[in-house]
Amino acid sequence: MQDHVSRWQRAENALIAIGLLVALVVWSQLWWVLLLAFLAFDLSALGYLVNDRVGAFCYNLVHNYTAPAVLIIVWAVTHLSDVSADWLMLLAACWGFHVAVDRALGFGLKLGPFTHTHLGPIGKAQRETRHVEP
């Protein structure tokens, strides 16, 4: 992927993470749950213990904005029904925050091996790419 596009997406996700953090601090006294729950979403990487294909599938299933968006919709519907389900919004914020921070740091959706992402190579693959002559 072109480097400027990757930088743009990383900056965009950094702003999403900051926005979610600020919103949660303003909305709730439970902002610390973001930090507590942060690594829980990385359990999806355990799929890499099976193989790269399963690992990428499990990781990508959790590391996108689909589930947080669905949780927000479910929260809104329950909120309109006068049912208190604020934990859904908290979970969505934690999940979205995790995805945003990962993307801001360059950990994008996996393209098979853990080090190959839609934002470009990371780790060892990134170092190897720098040493390749064009």
pLDDT tens digits for 36-50? 999 999 999 999 999
If one counts the domains in the chain, the total is: 1
Euclidean distance between CA atoms 34 and 73, whole angstroms: 20
Is the pLDDT assigned to residue 128 strictly greater than 70?
no
Q: Give, rounded to a whole angstrom, the gap between the first and last alpha carbons of the chain.
A: 15
pLDDT score at 52: 94
* Residue bearing the bigger pLDDT, 130 or 69: 69
The pLDDT mean for the chain works out to: 88
**Nearest-CA neighbor of 108 among 122, 118, 96?**
118
Domain of 117 in residue numbering reads as 3-131
